[in-house]
């Protein structure tokens, strides 16, 4: 099915036709986009018993209401013994009702926790599949809320839906019973239901509109908060507290103002509905009193009318709340399952070719690449994403070609913006070329399966992620069955042995979130050790020493030198002094290789390279 057809169907305001629904269903099937039922179908027995006990609770509520009215009638008529017996029966029903609630909670927790866990896991795993452009075009909050928060909300609202239907049926049965008791009172009740329903319909329409806007604003707030927590060191060191305080204040104020406005709207409409509820309730009660006085109504019936004089309001309110829940479920499920839609959240694409015994040859053939830029529509409404226009910036790389031989160590150098990091991203398939080919051992990188690519390429960047666990556990993340000999060899080659030996708990030392207890150089050496354990044929270093002091830089340089000849090593260097021993240097400018050779050759023959090195070492 054509992607444009799907976009047209989804953007239509009117209800889709049967054929369009069929096309959407086929599209979801082709792209393995799940539905909420896929997560609940394994728990049909739990769902059946949950609904069963909800119905039991509802029927008991109806029975208690009717029996209580009968108790009042018996007392008035002087049948005290029967009233006591009936009261005991009501107590027994109440106990059964409470026990049913306990069972409901047990059943709900049994399946809801499993469903939420599956959703969290599947969404987290799906996030690993997203392309670099997906992460570039979305905020952190977008992913965090959809992966962590929305599944809990969705499952909770589905349970509330069942409970609300039970309460709605209860009120409906009572209303019908009142209508049967006296049709005049019943007509007043019906009029109240209609008026209250109009108020709730209007309130629900506003709420559906507001919840989408609120979620977008919350995503921004959540994303900003996450980034502040992650980068608190940089914020303090750059003295950005006041500026960020101003930014966060604006974000929070914008979100809170919208929440305030929405709350005022909802509360105002609800209170007008409540006024209508009270007016019709009082009218119903007055009519019932008049009929009781004239003998047209018995005390038991009067008590039922008196006890449920606000039933039409409750019926309308429950209908509105049910609409709220349906609206919330749709919003949350749309947000969750959009993450499985490759049209909205593009994923990485891999081929099917399995490359055995990778040697590590890398070749770029006439490669061109430009970063994607998204220009939003002029009116920044909720539909801006659908209306936005995707364009390409000026090309970062154009018609670039080079070859890196297996087990050699090469470096890319050049001023900022010359395309160094882009080459590494294309080499590791974090980005995909616009034109030309990237080849690994003479095989197009797009034809390789995920295992062939990821297993054989390791990336060590300027700020490698270190998990909040021990050094040993961080190493085992790379290879869970690594032997002690392999671990020690990786530590030795990564120049980590002296550091680890000096720790009180040695290799079992917990390094904290993001390796907070380690220096920059220690984090990078630990990342190098992880790459070594994977036995990657290609190891990429992206600006690995640019933020390190001279001692840490020397450790990293030693680590890289220890790897020479065992893997293909590709380095993007900011400091030219760290790449003196590489086999070949590619000198870049504006996305093109303007020269190449050994360090000595470029220093001797290329004036610009010579000036760069001398400027660095002045």
Cβ proximity of 367 and 400 under 8 Å: yes
183-230 vs 241-293: helix axis angle to the nearest 10? 170
pLDDT digits (tens, 9 = 90+) for 494-507: 778 888 888 888 88
* Buried b or exposed e, range 466-481, using 16+ CB within 10 angstroms: beebbbbebbbebbee
150-181 vs 80-129: helix axis angle to the nearest 10? 150
Per-residue pLDDT, 378? 35
- Tell me the domains of the chain and their CATH numbers: 31-214+271-338 (1.20.1560.10), 362-367+400-616 (3.40.50.300)
**What are 583's two structure tokens?**
């086999």
Distance CA 30, CA 32 (A): 6
Number of Cβ within 10 Å of residue 190's Cβ equals 16
Number of Cβ within 10 Å of residue 457's Cβ equals 25
State the distance between the two ends of the chain, measured CA to CA, in whole angstroms: 62
**What are 91's two structure tokens?**
């107590």
Distance CA 531, CA 455 (A): 10
pLDDT digits (tens, 9 = 90+) for 171-207: 778 777 777 778 888 788 778 778 877 887 788 778 7
Residue 345: closest CA among 143, 550, 544, 95: 143
Cβ proximity of 614 and 445 under 8 Å: no
Residue 206: closest CA among 141, 246, 265, 276: 265
Write the CB contacts of 455 (distance below 8 Å, at least 6 apart in sequence). Answer: 534, 536
Residue 305: closest CA among 313, 296, 295, 297: 297
Per-residue pLDDT, 531? 80
Per-residue pLDDT, 199? 82
Per-residue pLDDT, 410? 92
Distance CA 197, CA 313 (A): 8
Cα-only R_g, the chain: 34
Alpha helix ranges (H) inside 294-378? 299-307, 311-338
Write the CB contacts of 332 (distance below 8 Å, at least 6 apart in sequence). Answer: 150, 151, 153, 154, 157
Residue 569: closest CA among 589, 584, 555: 584
pLDDT digits (tens, 9 = 90+) for 106-160: 898 888 889 998 999 899 888 888 887 788 777 777 788 888 888 988 888 888 8
**Residues lower than pLDDT 70 in the chain:** 1-16, 227, 229-241, 243, 308-314, 316-317, 372-394, 513-516, 543-559, 561-563, 616-618
Can you spell out the DSSP letters for 537-600? SEEEEESTTTTS-HHHHHHHHHHHHHHBTTBEEEEE-SSGGGGTT-SEEEEEETTEEEEEE-HH
For every residue of 14-63, which 3-state class applies, written as one string?
CCCCHHHHHHHHHHHHHCCCCCHHHHHHHHHHHHHHHHHHHHHHHHHHHH
pLDDT digits (tens, 9 = 90+) for 497-546: 888 888 888 888 888 765 567 777 788 788 888 888 887 889 888 865 55
């Amino acid at each position: 099915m054509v992607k444009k057809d799907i976009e047209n169907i989804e953007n239509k305001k009117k209800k889709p036709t049967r054929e369009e629904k069929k096309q959407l269903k086929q599209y979801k099937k082709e792209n393995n986009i799940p539905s909420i039922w896929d997560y609940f179908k394994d728990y049909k027995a739990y769902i059946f018993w949950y609904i069963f006990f909800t119905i039991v609770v509802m029927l008991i509520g109806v029975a208690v209401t009717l029996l209580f009215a009968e108790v009042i009638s018996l007392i008035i008529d002087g049948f005290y013994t029967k009233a006591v017996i009936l009261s005991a029966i009501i107590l027994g029903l109440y106990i059964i009702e409470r026990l049913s609630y306990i069972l409901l909670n047990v059943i709900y927790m049994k399946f809801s926790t499993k469903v939420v866990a599956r959703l969290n896991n599947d969404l987290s795993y799906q996030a690993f599949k997203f392309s670099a452009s997906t992460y570039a075009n979305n905020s952190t909050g977008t992913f965090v809320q959809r992966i962590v928060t929305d599944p809990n909300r969705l499952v909770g609202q589905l349970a509330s839906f069942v409970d609300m239907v039970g309460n709605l049926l209860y009120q409906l049965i009572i209303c019908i019973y009142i209508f049967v008791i006296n049709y005049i009172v019943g007509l007043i009740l019906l009029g109240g239901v209609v008026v209250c329903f109009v108020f709730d319909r209007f309130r629900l329409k506003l709420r559906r509109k507001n919840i989408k806007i609120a979620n977008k604003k919350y995503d921004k707030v959540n994303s900003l908060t996450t980034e502040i927590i992650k980068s608190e060191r940089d914020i303090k060191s750059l003295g950005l507290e006041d500026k960020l305080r101003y930014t966060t204040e604006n974000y929070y104020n914008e979100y809170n103002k919208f929440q305030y406005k929405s709350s005022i709207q909802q509360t105002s409409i609800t209170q007008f509905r409540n006024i209508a509820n009270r007016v019709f309730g009082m009218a119903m009660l007055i009519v019932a009193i008049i009929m009781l006085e004239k003998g047209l109504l018995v005390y038991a019936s009067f008590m039922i009318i008196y006890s449920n004089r606000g039933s039409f309001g409750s019926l309308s309110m429950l209908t509105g709340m049910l609409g709220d829940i349906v609206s919330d479920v749709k919003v949350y499920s749309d947000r969750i399952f959009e993450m499985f839609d490759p049209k909205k959240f593009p994923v990485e694409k891999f081929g099917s070719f399995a490359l055995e015994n990778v040697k590590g040859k890398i070749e770029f053939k006439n490669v061109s690449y430009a970063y994607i830029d998204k220009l939003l529509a002029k009116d920044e409404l909720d539909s801006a994403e659908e209306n936005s226009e995707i364009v390409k910036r000026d090309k970062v790389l154009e018609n670039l070609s080079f070859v890196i031989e297996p087990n050699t160590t090469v470096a890319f150098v050049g001023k900022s913006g010359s395309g160094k990091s882009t080459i590494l991203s294309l080499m590791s398939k974090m980005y995909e070329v616009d034109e030309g080919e990237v080849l690994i051992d003479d095989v197009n990188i797009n034809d390789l399966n995920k295992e062939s690519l990821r297993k054989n390429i390791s990336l060590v960047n300027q700020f490698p992620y270190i998990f909040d666990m021990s050094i040993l556990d961080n190493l085992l993340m790379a290879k869970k069955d690594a032997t002690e000999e392999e671990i020690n060899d990786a530590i030795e080659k990564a120049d980590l042995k002296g550091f680890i030996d000096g720790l009180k708990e040695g290799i079992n030392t917990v390094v904290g979130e993001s390796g907070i207890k380690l220096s920059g150089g220690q984090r990078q050496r630990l990342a190098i050790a992880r790459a070594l354990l994977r036995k990657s044929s290609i190891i990429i270093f992206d600006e690995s020493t640019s933020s390190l002091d001279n001692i840490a830089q020397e450790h990293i340089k030693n680590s890289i030198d220890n790897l020479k000849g065992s893997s293909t090593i590709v380095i993007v260097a900011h400091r030219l002094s760290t790449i003196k021993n590489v086999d070949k240097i590619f000198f870049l400018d504006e996305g093109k290789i303007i020269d190449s050779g050994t360090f000595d050759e470029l220093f001797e023959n290329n004036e610009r390279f010579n000036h760069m090195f001398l400027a660095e070492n002045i």
